[in-house]
Structures are given as structure tokens and as C-alpha cells.
Amino acid sequence: MVDHKGGARMGLFDFLKGKSLKGKTKQKSSNTIDQYSNIKTLHIESMMYYQKARELYERNEVFFPTLQESVRFQLLNHQKNGFDRVEILAAESQSCNVCQKMNDNVLTITTALKNMPIPRKDCKHSPNENGEGWCRCTYVPYVDDL
């Protein structure tokens, strides 16, 4: 892709291939297949932990550490995709008050991994009435206005 001044212009797909918005390559192109393989692995790990946490929750067993691990892999996946900040999204009006307060918070992935602000252990959303909350907050990559 070339911009109107004859210089290289970066599209979103280029960014996801390991380039920053400033055009600096994060990985050599020879590692592209390995990079996507790792991204896919991180996503799969996140989904496997999520599913296991949901099963534990439905059986009224200890699920929270497993749900946290799912979110940790989600953060690592965003980091591997080249993002350094994430935004917390709650399920808006369908979220409990605790989670609604987290909505739209932006933080670095490093801080999120260190503090693990979500999932919220004190979430009050209870889809199966077992008494413990099931936090539905999630992280999305945060990109400044381009």
C-alpha cells in the first residue's frame, strides 16, 4: 500500500502482522508463521480456560482462578498482536454496579497482567443463581485515534 506522497502506508492487516502504527517491525517477516501460530495458540488457551471455568461455575465448584487464567491468555494474545494498552468493556446495563464502574477503563497490558482488575471476584451477575457472580467484563485492544 502506498500513500499519496509515495511512501509506504500501513493498513490494519499490516499492523496485525507485527508492525506498530509507526511502521517499526516487531518481528522479522520470516517469523510471521510462528507469530500467527502463537497468537492462535494463545486464543485457544484462553477459550479452553473459559470453557473449563464455565463448567466449574455451572457445577458450583471453584471457578475463579480458571476464569482469571482465561483472561490472562486473552491479555497475552492482545500483547502478541502488538497492542500495549487495553480497554475494559462491561456488558453495559446488563452488568452489575461493580462491573459498570470498570467500563471504559484503559490500562497497559503490563498493568492489567500485574493487577488483574477483571474478572471481578465481587461481580454480582449470577446467571444460574448459585450465589457467586460470573464477571462478563472483557478486554479489547485500545488504539488512540488515528
pLDDT (tens digit, 9 = 90+) per residue, 87-100? Answer: 999 987 788 888 89
pLDDT of residue 37: 61
Residue reference for cell 485457544? 44
pLDDT tens, position by position, 119-142: 998 888 876 665 678 888 999 999
pLDDT of residue 145: 67
- Residue closest to 140 by CA, chosen among 81, 64, 65, 69: 81
Q: Is residue 48's pLDDT more than 90?
A: yes
Residues 6+ apart with CB under 8 A from 114: none
Phi–psi pair at 55, nearest 5 degrees: -60, -45
